[in-house]
Amino acid sequence: MNTARWTRTLCGLALACLTSWAHAGIPIQHWVMPNGARVYLVEAPGLPMVDVQIDFDAGTRRDPANQVGLASATALMMGKGVAAAGGAAAMDENALGEAWADLGASLSMGASNDRFSVNLRSLTRTELLDAAVQLAARQLAHPSFPEAVWHSERQRWQASLAEAKTQPGYLAGRAFAAAVYGTHPYGYDTTPAHLQAIEVGHLRAFHARYVHACQARVSIVGALNRAQAQARVTQLLAGLPQARGCAALPAVPEVQPLARAQDIAIPFESAQAHVFIGQPGIARQSPDFLALTVGNYVLGGGGFVSRLTAQVREKRGLSYSVSSYFSPSMHAGAFRIALQTRANQAAQAVQVAREVLADFVQHGPTEAEVQAAKDNLIGGFALRLDSNRKLLDNVSNIAWYDLPLDYLDTWTDKVQRLSASDIQAAFARTLQPERMVTVVLGAKP
């Protein structure tokens, strides 16, 4: 069996092991490396594989206002080649792809609102893991940022943006984000002009400024013990600036609450109107996070059993689907109600959705609705942990948001203890239905 096929087989076998963990404790070990990196480890010795995520405070919230897209561009280009270093020859994108395929391993980079993330997956067979860690360390510390490749990728990205701006859902979403977040970086919109202002020197400077060992949060799930994990993390981060070169990063301002309601109508030739209603919600560290999660299942996150679906779709037939959700991050992410409806029904759909929301904020759910939500969420908890990737996502969230190490072990009990009054109070503290942004794209009078 070749290496890649063996890796896929192990991923399948992991399902049974990880699902059983959802019903038992998941011990997370945590320590701080001499270089300042913070490590979070879940030992999973049953399968000879490991997943690693390294997060840096270098997400899109760090983009300069005149170079929106810089964090994402840096992540993209870190996969396009490595420079010669330490006696090792330079490698272009094709050589890197072949090297990772030969190892049956993978490395990827990406930037979200808050995080710049590097993900490594490998078998733990010594010779394979040694080679994968060495290659990942080179890619992390010595990306070549080839200029010709960046110019080509930039043109492709600019063309993609131009095409996206013809899509009604994209246009409505961008208008909503701009109105909800104002001047906060969460509301930034990457444009072709922003990309044109980014050159290879800016990519190198961003990488040098933010990708430091002392800023790293490293989450590991796999067949490594603490000593092995510490040795691998040391290797992975060896080429990056260490603790002595680590300066405190500037604070990013908080998302400001909305001062008033705002209705935004966007003309667009479309049979369907796209509707977003919302406001800034909560940061992930909010003590109301679980209460809002359970309550939102009742309001609009529970599909066909939610109140919004019952009133907007089932009772009045105004929309095929309608949903609500929170997007908590380091700062207050948006709360959003989203629906599509026939253009000539948009006003009625908006009115009904607003009424359902206002009633829910004022009166909250019933105890029966809360119990049904708990049963569904707790019953589905195992599905949050049924793969290495999902477990790693949970561990990296604990690491990034400084959540308690026993967060996964206590999650069910904390959800179970929530009452209808707890949920109503959390919604009343968080949402102000009278001060929301409403975006309607494509409505007809």
Residues 47 and 8 in one domain: yes
Residues 12 and 85 in one domain: yes
- Mean pLDDT lowest among 375-384, 400-409, 424-433: 375-384
Read off the pLDDT of residues 49-91 as tens digits, 9 standing for 90 and up: 999 999 999 999 999 999 999 999 999 999 999 999 988 999 9
Q: What percent of the chain has pLDDT over 70?
A: 94
- Report the side by side order of strands in the sheet with 262-266: 262-266, 437-441, 272-280, 334-342, 322-326
CA distance linking residue 214 with residue 201, whole number of Å: 23
Residues 279 and 415 in one domain: yes
Instruction: Say whether 218 sits in a helix, a strand or coil.
Output: strand
Residue 279 lies in a domain: yes
CA distance linking residue 345 with residue 188, whole number of Å: 31
Give me the phi and psi of 59, to 5 degrees please: -75, -170
Check pLDDT > 60 for residue 10.
Answer: no
Residues 236 and 270 in one domain: no
CA distance linking residue 39 with residue 213, whole number of Å: 11
Residues 160 and 304 in one domain: no
Residue 205 lies in a domain: yes
- Mean pLDDT lowest among 6-15, 287-296, 432-441: 6-15
CA distance linking residue 215 with residue 127, whole number of Å: 29
Read off the pLDDT of residues 191-202 as tens digits, 9 standing for 90 and up: 999 999 999 999
Q: Which residues contact 177 (CB under 8 A, 6 or more apart)?
A: 186, 187, 189, 334
Residues 329 and 234 in one domain: no
Amino acid at 425: A
Read off the pLDDT of residues 312-342 as tens digits, 9 standing for 90 and up: 999 999 999 999 999 999 999 999 999 999 9
Read off the pLDDT of residues 101-114 as tens digits, 9 standing for 90 and up: 999 999 999 999 99
Residues 186 and 312 in one domain: no
| Tokens 């290495």 belong to residue | 388
Residue 380 lies in a domain: yes
End-to-end CA distance of the chain: 64
Q: What is the model's pLDDT at position 245?
A: 59
Instruction: Say whether 64 sits in a helix, a strand or coil.
Output: coil
Q: Judge whether 289 and 328 are in contact, CB under 8 Å.
A: yes
Residues 235 and 345 in one domain: no
CA distance linking residue 20 with residue 87, whole number of Å: 46
Q: What is the model's pLDDT at position 248?
A: 84
CA distance linking residue 105 with residue 121, whole number of Å: 6
- Report the side by side order of strands in the sheet with 106-111: 29-32, 38-43, 217-222, 49-56, 116-123, 106-111
CA distance linking residue 227 with residue 112, whole number of Å: 31
Instruction: Kindly state the average pLDDT of the residues 176-188.
Output: 97
Cβ burial of 315 (10 Å; 0-12, 13-18, 19+) is exposed
Q: Which residues contact 242 (CB under 8 A, 6 or more apart)?
A: 35, 36, 212, 213, 214
Residue 300 lies in a domain: yes
Residue 245 lies in a domain: no
Instruction: Say whether 278 sits in a helix, a strand or coil.
Output: strand
Q: What is the model's pLDDT at position 17?
A: 47
CA distance linking residue 216 with residue 230, whole number of Å: 13
Residue 387 lies in a domain: yes
Residue 249 lies in a domain: no
CB atoms within 10 A of CB 227: 8
Q: Which residues contact 18 (CB under 8 A, 6 or more apart)?
A: 44, 385, 386, 387, 388, 390, 391
Residue 248 lies in a domain: no
Cβ burial of 362 (10 Å; 0-12, 13-18, 19+) is exposed
Residues 366 and 406 in one domain: yes
Check pLDDT > 60 for residue 262.
Answer: yes
Domains in the chain: how many in total? 2
Structural domain boundaries enclosing 16:
3-240
Q: How far is CA 184 from the centre of its chain?
A: 18
CATH at residue 68: 3.30.830.10
CA distance linking residue 302 with residue 372, whole number of Å: 10
Instruction: Say whether 315 sits in a helix, a strand or coil.
Output: helix
Structure tokens at 307: 């109140």
Q: Which residues contact 313 (CB under 8 A, 6 or more apart)?
A: 319, 320, 321, 322
Give me the phi and psi of 443, to 5 degrees please: -75, 150
Q: What percent of the chain has pLDDT over 90?
A: 87
Strands 322-326 and 334-342: antiparallel
Q: What is the model's pLDDT at position 11?
A: 46
Q: Which of 210, 240, 270 is the last residue of a domain?
A: 240
Q: What is the model's pLDDT at position 244?
A: 65
Instruction: Kindly state the average pLDDT of the residues 380-392.
Output: 86
Residues 267 and 372 in one domain: yes
CA distance linking residue 104 with residue 389, whole number of Å: 16
Q: Is the pTM of this model over 0.75?
A: yes
CA distance linking residue 7 with residue 5, whole number of Å: 5
Read off the pLDDT of residues 344-357 as tens digits, 9 standing for 90 and up: 999 999 999 999 99
Residues 76 and 108 in one domain: yes
Check pLDDT > 70 for residue 13.
Answer: no
- The candidate with the shortest Cα–Cα distance to 63, out of 186, 150, 216, is 186
CA distance linking residue 136 with residue 108, whole number of Å: 9
Q: What is the model's pLDDT at position 270?
A: 84
Q: What is the model's pLDDT at position 71?
A: 98
- The candidate with the shortest Cα–Cα distance to 322, out of 355, 366, 291, 289, is 355
| Tokens 């908890």 belong to residue | 381
Instruction: Kindly state the average pLDDT of the residues 234-262.
Output: 91
CA distance linking residue 246 with residue 420, whole number of Å: 46
Q: What is the model's pLDDT at position 1?
A: 41
CA distance linking residue 204 with residue 144, whole number of Å: 9
Mean pLDDT of the chain: 93
Residues 214 and 267 in one domain: no
Instruction: Kindly state the average pLDDT of the residues 216-225.
Output: 97
